[in-house]
Amino acid sequence: MADRIDLVLRGGTVVTPSGRIRADVEIDDGRVVGLSAGEAPAPAREVIDVAGLTLLPGLIDTHTHLREPGQAHKEDIAHATRAAAAGGYTTVIGMPNTDPVTSTLERYREAISLYERSAYVDFNHFPSGALIEEIDGLAAAGAPGFKLFMVSGADLRQSGKGVGDSGHLFEAAEAIARTNLPMFVHGHDPALLGVIERRAWARGERDARAYAQAYAAFEGIVWDGPTSQLVRIQAATGVHLHVLHMKTGRMADIVRAAKAAGQHVTAEVNPVCLLIANDWANIERLGPYALSTYIGDGQSEPLWEAFRDGTIDVIGTDHAPHTRAEKEIGWTDMWKSAGGIPHLQETLPAFLTRVDRGELTLERLVEAGSAAPARVLGVYPRKGAILPGSDADIVAVDLDARATFREEDVLSKCGWSAFTGETFTGLPRLTLVRGSVVYRDGRVVGQPGFGRIVRRAAG
Ligand SMILES: [Zn+2]
């Protein structure tokens, strides 16, 4: 039987970088070995009929909070990567604001060992780039890039979570530039936000609405200034700057201009900013369950425009689960609550629904969800494409299927979703990681520990 390949996905429509084709996908030893259009596919040990389905390269999440180590009461790697498999995500990259913060080589290795034990899909994990002396060692150990928060307060600086001033940011950028890895920055101005927050508190306003309005104040001023500074530091250091949390039209203008000038800048949007937090009615209805941030009046259209025109390269889910108890207090005091919501499972069907409504093309979704993240991580086209030689990371979606997302569907450990009650058009039916089925027809069928680390090729 040595002349038979492992698997053929028969009869589907494949979204490739050069367009959609009707083709049978030939898979052997975890990789795509051929796309057979118009002729019989190679003999295979297993054939899965995907007639009527559309095959996309598995989505890659550059921004997942899996909460291990230290916060497993709200999420863990097994739950998050099961949700990923069900949501068509075949690679997730974790974020370092765990407990302890992933700021050293030793802690990075510990984090990776947790994924190796529990992950259902492929993975890597961003360490913090705040401890400059750690950067070279982390890069050599296989870190995919570095995450920096902008923080205020010596305690946060000492924890290695973030950078507290522009000097620290500059030195981190210089060191990261030498590694050729991307620098992912959550840029906001904590001192400026502090002034806006204290004014709200002085008025006695602490609920979810007040919190939303504080972040959105002055058309998102807390985001725009740091973006300019980041782009300027990129020009000085040559680092690959990846701007997280695109939220305003001015941020889009800054990034668009930097790209036009040839700077090595990429940008990422949290789907919540395009799908939920850009509508005040959702903030009123969901309160803390819609937050961390509100995209203020007038910002949604420029943000969507930047997403459609490619100024925003990447969808990073920012899947960020918290327990109901941690959220519930936010109705009265959002500053005692926790920002962030879960949606690794919901992101693909939510965007497919926008494709169905004609608000987005399927090709743009595949680019932002699969190909561009793979390029940012330096793993394209091994990941992020369905081409001969690529890993067989594939999600088969039924573009016409409709279902209302229910609370009992939620796979994240936190057990709730801002999307419950929404009817999606376009659903994942089958997810493969390296040629193995991890999700099929409503059930996660993969195994913990199946996921492998995804490293950029050397050189
Ligand atoms: Zn995040």
Please name each of the domains of the chain with its CATH number. Answer: 5-55+389-444 (2.30.40.10), 58-377 (3.20.20.140)
The CA 64 to ligand 1 mean position distance, Å, reads: 7
Q: Can you give the pLDDT at residue 153?
A: 61
- Indicate if the pLDDT at residue 163 is higher than 90: no
Q: Which two tokens stand for residue 88?
A: 């068509």
Helix (H) or strand (E) holding 394: strand 394-404
Cα(48) to ligand 1 centroid in Å equals 37
Confidence of residue 91 (pLDDT cuts 50, 70, 90): very high
Please give the average per-residue pLDDT across 144-164, as a whole number: 76
pLDDT tier for residue 165 given thresholds of 50, 70 and 90: confident
Q: What is the mean pLDDT of residues 203-210?
A: 97
Mean pLDDT computed over 257-263: 98
pLDDT at 193 over 90: yes
Distance 26 CA to ligand 1 centre (A): 36
Q: What is the pLDDT of residues 97-136, one digit of tens each?
A: 999 999 999 999 999 999 999 999 999 999 999 999 999 9
CB 130, CB 157: distance < 8 Å: yes
Angle made by CA atoms 3, 32, 373, in degrees to the nearest 5: 165
* 341 CA distance to ligand 1 middle (Å): 10
What residues are paired with 444 via a beta bridge? Answer: 439
Extract the tokens encoding 262: 């040839």
Residue pair 11/372 in contact by the 8 Å Cβ criterion:
no
Summarize the confidence of residues 209-228 as an average pLDDT. 95
Query: Which residues does 128 contact at the CB level (< 8 Å), separation at least 6?
Result: 96, 97, 101, 102, 103, 146, 147, 148, 149, 160, 161, 162
The angle formed by the CA atoms of residues 13, 16 and 19, to the nearest 5 degrees, is: 80
Output the pTM of the full model. 0.97
> How far, in Å, is the centroid of ligand 1 from the Cα of 421?
25
Closest CA to 220 of 244, 256, 185, 196: 196
The predicted structure's pLDDT at residue 158 = 57
Res 60 pLDDT > 90: yes
Q: Which residue would you say has higher pLDDT here, 154 or 322?
A: 322
Give the CA dihedral 433, 434, 437, 442, nearest 10 degrees. Answer: 20
pLDDT of residue 458: 67
Q: Please report the pLDDT score of residue 157 as a whole number.
A: 55
Per-residue pLDDT band for 411 (boundaries 50, 70, 90) equals: very high
Tell me: pLDDT of 155 over 60: no
Of 20-24, 166-170, 350-354, 382-386, least confident by mean pLDDT is 166-170
Q: Percent of the chain at pLDDT above 70?
A: 97
Distance 93 CA to ligand 1 centre (A): 11
State the distance from the centre of ligand 1 to the C-alpha of 207, rounded, in angstroms. 22
pLDDT value at 1 more than 80? no
Cα of 184 vs centre of ligand 1, distance in Å, is 10
Distance between Cα 272 and ligand 1 center (Å): 12
Calculate mean pLDDT across residues 416-437: 98
Which pLDDT score, from 0 to 100, does residue 159 have? 66
DSSP states along 92-108: EEE-S-SSS-S-SHHHH
- In this predicted structure, the answer to whether residue 61 has a pLDDT above a threshold of 90 is yes
- Match 């916060």 to its residue by tokens: 71
Q: Is the pLDDT of residue 342 over 70?
A: yes
Predicted pLDDT of residue 133: 96
Cα 346 to the chain's mean position, in Å? 12
Amino acid identity, residue 246? M
What would the pLDDT profile of 320-336 be if each residue is shown by its tens digit? 999 999 999 999 999 99
pLDDT mean across residues, the chain: 95
